[in-house]
Every structure is written in C-alpha cells, then in structure tokens.
Amino acid sequence: MDGAFTAGTVFGDFEIRGRLGAGGMGEVFRAFDHRHGGEVALKVLSAHLAGDRVTVERFRREARAAFELRDPHVVPVHGYGEIDGRLYLSMRLIDGEDLARLLARRAPLPAARAAGIVRQAAHALDAAHAAGLVHRDVKPANLLVVEARDDFTYLVDFGIARVVGPEPTAPTALTATGATVGTLGYLAPERLRSSDAAVDGRADVYSLTCVLFEMLTGRQPFPGTDPAAVLSAHLVTPPPRVTALRPDLAPGWDEVVARGMAKDPGDRPATAGALAAQVQALVEAAPVAPPPTRPEVPPPTLRDDDRDPWIVPGEPDGPPGRDAPPRHGRRVLATVIGAATLVAAVLVAAVWVVVPRGGAEPPVVVPSFETPEPVADPGPLQPAGTTSAPVVPAGDGDLGLDRPVSRLGCSGQDVVVVGAAVDPARYVEDVTMHLDRHPGSDYLLSLRSCSSFRPRTPDGNLIYAVYLGPFPSRDRACTALRAAGGDSYIQPLGAAPRTPGDDVC
C-alpha cells in the first residue's frame, strides 16, 4: 500500500492482482488467496497508520464485528489478522457498486426499488443490533448494491460500530470523551446529545431513514456545505417532506420519514425491520408512476466519498455531478437561536478530522451538547439560476426553481414570512435570494394560497411570499421569527394579512 503493493506482490498467502481503491483506513486490493483458493477483496491498513492506536483499534473492531456477523446482507469475511506488522481483512469480492455511486447516476429511485434496498439493509442492521452492535455510520457509501442480482444489498464498514452499553475494555474506544464519530449527513441527533453508551440501534434507524429520503428524492434530508448548519438541522429541524420533491408519492411517505427521523428515539420504529415494513406497506398500497427526472443541478452537500471500495467498482471514482461545488460567496445559515452560534463554536474549537487518502470526507468528531428548539425543515439550498427577464408564472405559480412552489391552505397554523417578490422582472431573482438567505424556507404564489396572503400589489402585480413553517405552535413560530430577523413576521393561516412589525410573540 501507499504505493508499495503492485500486481504480483506476495503478502502472506495472498497474491495481489490489482488495486480496487482506497478508503479512510487503508487500501483494498483484488487478491488471490493461495491457502483457500479463489479471489478475494483484501483490505490492508495503510502503513502510515500502523502506529496510530485509535485507527488500529478501529480496524480490528471492524474485522471482529464483520467476521462474527452471519447475515446474508453483511459481506462475508473470510479472515483477518496481521502479516509483517500490517493488519488485513479478507472478504468476499462483490461485483457491484455502492449506493452513493448508484444514486449519482440514477437518483431519484422508484419507490419500490428504494423499499427493496431499505428492506435488505434493515435485515443486516437488525442482525447487528441483535448481536449488540450499533453500526453508527449507515450511509449510501456503506451499502453495496449488486444490480445484476436484483439489487442484492450488503451493509459494510463496521469500523466505527460500537457495542451497546458500557465497554469496560475500551471506555472511550474510538472517540474522545464526550465526542461522537459519524458522517454528518446521516447523523442521528442523539449521537450529538448523548454518550455512546446511551445510543442504541434506533440511531441506525434514523440514518437508514435519511438514506431512504435520499433514494427517493436525490438529495440528503439536510443538504448543505456548512457543517454547523447540517448539525443544527439534525438536532432541531423537523424532517423534510418527501412529497415536496416527489409529488408523485403519497403523503404516507412523509409520515414514514417523519417517524424514522424523529428527534426522540422513542418516537421512531423500534427496529430497522419495522421501518422497512412501513415502507413496504406504502409500496404495496399505492404503486406509483416513475420518478421525476433528476434536477440538473443537485443541491450542495457535505461530501460523502468516505467509502471503502469493498467491491469491484461499477463506475469510476468520483462520478461527475455528485457533488456540485458551492457557489462563491454563498453560505448556509443556521436558522436556530443559540444553536448556530453553539455549533459553529464547537466546530471551530473542538472538531478534529482525520483526512483519508484522496481528499474524501472523513467521519467527523463533534462534542455533545444540548438541544435547542426546533425550526422549519431546510429545502434545497441551490436554486436554479436567476434572470432579469420578466417571468410569467405557470398555472400553479411555479418558477422552475430547484424547489417546487408550495400551496398553503388556511389551516390555522403559523408561518414566518421572511421575504416577498413583487416585481415580475425579478420574481426568480428575488425569490431565489430569500430562499438562499433562509435555509428551510419555501415559496408560494399568494393568489394560489390561503387568503391570509395579499394576492397583488396596489399596481396589480402578483406577489410571491417566501416563508418558514408551518409551525405546530406559536412558540415554535416565535423561535423561528427571532432566528430569521430582519423584516420577518408571523402570519397565522386563516387570519387577516399581517405586516412586518406586528408583534404576536
């Protein structure tokens, strides 16, 4: 490894036949096992990490956990050990690709296909949980999909798995005291609030639900390039609605995602299998049409390339279009009172990152902290380009942005209006600006929504409103109002139109 292993290199009983790729802890090779016969995937710890106690322990943990699990959806491990001071893991060579690469090419997936992948991943997770293991890093890069076998799916990379409950032989194991390891886009909120000993398999259920959302919509639940904003969203922001991006799906999908991503673990399905059963029931109850085409410009997300190549890659590394570069000068804002400041300070002061080979995003270690009050779910953070030409809205008022236009009824709930667009020549530009300034916001055409919104200006121009919510309580709305700042105001849906300065908090 590190350039030392080439085709023909002999490593104990293994003969290297080619390099499959690199991950956070080492490299993976196609190798021939002369003792048992046949080709294997051989993962070897990088030489420069051999003296790193934490990394060595993580590698051994992964080997033990994977070797002891016997489930059809966990990649079979033939053996592990140490040769010439180098730790290795020998496993079955799988001809397929990880789900992250598949989604880069094919997202969004049909609901039935997503349900099948969730079912198999849940099977593996339930086996791990029954053995007392919490995976702690469920994400698309750690799910291998073999399309030639009807999407047969494997769960891989138990490198940061942890035994449920206290671990006397390694009380802090792979984390600093009070810290958490995981990939941010799929991190359960209790992982940030609690000690590892208090986290159980329901954290994996949360992460698997995040993966489900991404399969159905083509984006992470809380996309963004700012770790502080992403962490805040996992802690306090309500789960996003699948149907906002997939109107072809039934509202039941929103309910399943909301339960699976509930902030309180007690409100989630008790097992991964229970989540999978709910998903399958939706598929069987209401077959849906093929999914919409993938947006040309996906919302920016934190990179999720920290994957170990346990398989024969079906696509080249780094497929184009998976991670759009963030726009110059653009920054995701954490719309949470106190939470944004706290998370940002935590990240600056205490986050440490081990950068794997190839510049991929590593697991991030973040100290635990308490939970602030929730606010609205963030929508896509990269709207379509702007224009200075007048825009004639479609029948429902959709402006062709990355996020579809919303339509609110007079439900009696509160929304926080954060901006408006009243100039037909600037509808797209102004709505985009407000969406960009207020992560989690949506937009509507007042004429097509509740009469609580003024439909036109005195000059007769249609009005677009950009808003956060709706919120289940006035307290939640007031929290979001204070976070939004500026000329934002609360508009009860069903009440007379209000204006900036109206104090209802």
Confidence grade of residue 66 (pLDDT, cut at 50, 70, 90): confident
Which tokens hold the place of 505? Answer: 């908090």
Closest CA to 103 of 142, 75, 159: 142
Which tokens hold the place of 380? Answer: 């896509």
Select which of 137, 196, 308, 377 is catalytic: 137
> Tell me, what's the pLDDT at 214?
97
Confidence grade of residue 4 (pLDDT, cut at 50, 70, 90): confident
Higher-pLDDT residue of 437 and 178 is 437
Domain boundaries of the chain, sorted by first residue:
10-92, 95-367, 383-505
> Tell me, what's the pLDDT at 333?
32
Closest CA to 281 of 118, 152, 155: 118
Would you tell me which CATH number, out of the four given (3.40.50.300, 1.10.390.10, 1.10.510.10, 1.20.20.10), belongs to the domain 95-367? Answer: 1.10.510.10
Q: For the CA atoms of 352, 129, 260, 174, what is the dihedral angle to 10 degrees?
A: 0
> Tell me, what's the pLDDT at 500?
76
Task: Kindly report, residue by residue over 411-445, the tens digit of the pLDDT.
Answer: 888 999 999 999 999 999 999 999 888 888 899 99
Please give the average per-residue pLDDT across 72-98, as a whole number. 88
- What is the distance between the alpha carbons of residues 246 and 171, in angstroms, rounded to a whole number? 44
Residue 292 is classified by DSSP as P
> Tell me, what's the pLDDT at 27?
85
Higher-pLDDT residue of 94 and 158 is 94
Task: Kindly report, residue by residue over 257-295, the tens digit of the pLDDT.
Answer: 999 999 999 999 999 999 999 999 999 997 545 555 554
Residue 192 predicted with pLDDT over 90: no
Residues of the chain above pLDDT 70, percent: 71
Please give the average per-residue pLDDT across 449-478, as a whole number. 90
Kindly write down the DSSP assignment for every residue of 237-284, as one continuous string. SPPPPGGGT-TTS-THHHHHHHHHT-SSGGGS-SSHHHHHHHHHHHHH
Which tokens hold the place of 438? Answer: 């207020």
Residues of the chain above pLDDT 90, percent: 39
> Tell me, what's the pLDDT at 191?
87
- What is the distance between the alpha carbons of residues 434 and 438, in angstroms, rounded to a whole number? 6
Q: Give CA 454 to chain center in angstroms.
A: 37
Specify whether 98 is catalytic. Answer: no
> Tell me, what's the pLDDT at 64?
79
Token pair 């409100």 is found at 267
Pairing of strands 14-22, 162-163: unpaired
Higher-pLDDT residue of 463 and 402 is 463
Which CATH number describes the domain made up of 10-92?
3.30.200.20
Q: Cβ-count burial of 60 within 10 angstroms (0-12 exposed, 13-18 middle, 19+ buried)?
A: middle
